Amino acid sequence: MSMTREDTAALAASLQASARRHATPCGDGHMIWMEWGAGEPVVLIHGGSGSWRHWLRNIGPLAEKFRVIAADVPGYHDSALPPEPVDFTSIGEVMAEGLDRVLGADRSYHMAGFSLGSFIAPHVIVHSERQARSLALVHGHLVGRMNYSPQNTLKRWRTVEDADERREVLRHNLGALMLAHPESADAATIEMYRKDVESSRLRVPAFIDTLDTGILLQLQARICSISGRLDPTGLPDVQAQVDKLRAFLPEAETHIIENAGHWVMYEAPEEFNKLVLDWLINNS
């Protein structure tokens, strides 16, 4: 999807302005939820160092048919840090309590989790009083403990004071982890990424070792995965992770989008949106 800086910025501003905003208890403050559209609820959970804007190119198409609810995960963007001790369970508990409030009269929902959000989502589901009808895992890593090798190639940006130099560091990090093609990291994308990483306070390395994707076995929701073929987190490669998921959960539906990286729903939005809409409609 080709978008100019103005198009991307305008889309973000339009979605921000049109959203129905909810605040639910979280630690010493509140967790923020953004909502658009009407119909069956679809809950979107973003990835690490992100915000609801990880779904920028997907919210509009989904909201044409569904009630879309996008979270700011505790410790990210406008949401307060979760209560101590911080781990997947505590984050899942506070998000489940908040989600149940936001859902209101709706007794069931669909969920999609990207990257870190794909690990948090099952914990939200098991603690929610509502029924999750389906779960889409958007990640190259699907089964087992996380081997986060791209972390070794990321550059430190917090100590870089020069604005232009910091943008170049962030451009490098986008290419090392998030996006497969240099042209995907345009100026508007870098600026959005900068705002998100600079507002991130959750320190995932402190609890990532507690990750146990075996929690997927506890879910009654139907599960699918959508991965970019060029996602560097899919070790030893994305196909191997998909094969592991199929062996682990034979009923899971799996998809690989060619020529796209980790942030697959941003880099290949047309194909991603079609896959997700078909999945949601078939499971409604």
pLDDT digit string (tens) for 205-224? 889 988 999 999 999 999 99
- pLDDT reported for residue 92: 98
3-state secondary structure of 36: strand
- pLDDT reported for residue 150: 61
| Whether the predicted pLDDT of 20 surpasses 60 | yes
Kindly give the pairing relationship between strand 222-228 and strand 20-26.
unpaired
Confidence of residue 228 (pLDDT cuts 50, 70, 90): very high
Q: Distance between CA atoms of 128 and 130, rounded to whole angstroms?
A: 5
Contact (CB, 8 A) for 42 and 62: yes
Topology of domain 5-148+204-282, per CATH? Answer: Rossmann fold (3.40.50)
3-state secondary structure of 151: helix
- pLDDT reported for residue 209: 86
Confidence of residue 168 (pLDDT cuts 50, 70, 90): very high
For residue 47, CA distances in Å to 27, 108, 161, 278 come to 20, 23, 25, 23
- pLDDT reported for residue 122: 98
Of the two residues 170 and 153, the one the predictor is more confident about is 170
| Whether the predicted pLDDT of 4 surpasses 90 | no
The count of other CB atoms within 10 Å of the CB of residue 65 is 16
Q: Can you tell me which residue has the tokens 């999750």?
A: 132
| Strand boundaries in 46-139, DSSP class E | 67-72, 108-114, 131-138
Stated pTM of the model: 0.96
- pLDDT reported for residue 1: 44
| Whether the predicted pLDDT of 101 surpasses 90 | yes
CA dihedral over 27, 30, 36, 39, signed as positive or negative? positive
For residue 273, CA distances in Å to 14, 40, 61, 129, 198 come to 19, 16, 7, 28, 28
| Whether the predicted pLDDT of 280 surpasses 80 | yes
| Whether the predicted pLDDT of 125 surpasses 90 | yes
**Token pair for residue 237?**
């490669």
180 phi/psi in degrees, rounded to 5: -85, -25
Measured in residues, the chain has a length of 284
3-state secondary structure of 82: coil
- pLDDT reported for residue 158: 85
| Whether the predicted pLDDT of 39 surpasses 90 | yes
Going by C-alpha positions, the residue among 2, 159, 21 that lies closest to residue 79 is 21
In this prediction, residues 35-47 reach a mean pLDDT of 98
Q: Distance between CA atoms of 184 and 268, rounded to whole angstroms?
A: 10
Confidence of residue 147 (pLDDT cuts 50, 70, 90): low
| Whether the predicted pLDDT of 2 surpasses 60 | no
In this prediction, residues 257-262 reach a mean pLDDT of 97
Domain definitions of the chain by residue range: 5-148+204-282
**Token pair for residue 28?**
């010493």
